[in-house]
Amino acid sequence: MAKNLVIVESGAKAKTIEKILGPSFKVESCYGHIKDLPKKKLGVDIENNFEPTYQIIPGKGKILKKLKTLSKKMDEIYLATDLDREGEAISWHLSQELSHPKKVRIVFNQVTREALKRAVENPADIDMGKVDAQQGRRVLDRLVGYKISPLLWKKVKRGLSAGRVQSIAVRLICEREEEIEKFSFMEYWTISAKFSPSGKARSLQAKLYSLEGKKVKISREEEAEKHAEKIGKAAFRVAGWEEKEKTRSPSPPFTTSTLQQVAGYQLGFSSAKTMKLAQDLYEGQDIGGKERVGLITYMRTDSMRIAKEAQLEARNFLKDEYPKEFIPQRIPIYKNRKSSQDAHEAIRPTKVSRTPASVKNYLSKDHLKLYALIWKRFLASQMEKALIKTSTLDIQGGEYIFKAQATEVKFPGFMRVYKEKAEKESLLPRLKKGAKLKLKEITSRQEFTQPPSRYTEASLVKTLEEKGIGRPSTYVPTISTIRQRRYVNWDRGVLIPTPLARVVTELLVENFSTILDTEFTARMEEGLDTVETGKKKWNRLVEEFYKHFEKELTAAESAMRDVKKEGLKIPETRCKMCGGRMTLKFGRWGEFLACSNYPDCKNTLPVMKKIGVRCPSPGCKGEIIERTSHKGKVFYGCSRFPECRFGSPGEPIDKSCPHCNGPYLVRFRDGFKCPACKKTLKDEIVMKRRIGKIPYKIIKKGSNETRVG
List active site positions: 298
Shortest CA distance to 681 belongs to which of 690, 669, 672? 672
HSE on the CB side for 426, CA within 13 Å?
Answer: 13
Question: How would DSSP label each residue in 13-80?
Answer: HHHHHHHHH-TTEEEEE--S-SEES-SSS--EETTTTTEE--EEPTT-HHHHHHHHHHHTT-SEEEE-
175 neighbors 509 (Cβ within 8 angstroms) = no
Per 3-state DSSP, the chain is made up of helix, strand and coil in percentages (nearest 5) of 35, 25, 40
Could you count the other beta carbons within 10 Å of the beta carbon of residue 39?
Answer: 9
- Which residues are CB-neighbours of 419 under 8 A, at least 6 positions away? none
Q: How far apart are CA 376 and CA 100, in angstroms?
A: 45
Q: How far apart are CA 330 and CA 440, in angstroms?
A: 51
C-alpha torsion angle, residues 695, 696, 701, 706 (rounded to 10):
-60
Could you count the other beta carbons within 10 Å of the beta carbon of residue 346?
Answer: 28
Amino acid (one-letter) located at 295: L
Question: C-alpha distances in angstroms, 445 versus 53, 70, 196?
Answer: 67, 75, 21
Ranges of beta strands (E only) in 464-557 are 488-491, 494-497
Quote the DSSP letter at residue 349.
B
Q: How far apart are CA 541 and CA 602, in angstroms?
A: 48
> What's the gap between Cα 583 and its chain centre?
35
E strand or H helix that includes residue 623? strand 623-628
E strand or H helix that includes residue 583? strand 581-587
For residue 599, cis peptide bond before it (omega within 30 degrees of 0): yes
Q: How far apart are CA 471 and CA 83, in angstroms?
A: 14
Quote the DSSP letter at residue 218.
B
R_g (Cα) of the chain, nearest Å: 31
Q: Using the Cα atoms of residue 394, residue 395, residue 397 and residue 402 in order, give the sign of their dihedral.
A: negative
Could you count the other beta carbons within 10 Å of the beta carbon of residue 552?
Answer: 18
Sheet with 581-587, side-by-side order of all strands: 568-574, 581-587, 590-595, 604-606
26 DSSP β-pair partners: 5
> What's the gap between Cα 641 and its chain centre?
37
Shortest CA distance to 248 belongs to which of 391, 458, 390? 390
Quote the DSSP letter at residue 199.
T
Shortest CA distance to 88 belongs to which of 135, 123, 122, 53? 135
**Could you give phi then psi for residue 171, rounded to 5 degrees?**
-60, -45
**Helix 85-97 × helix 128-155 angle, to 10°:** 100
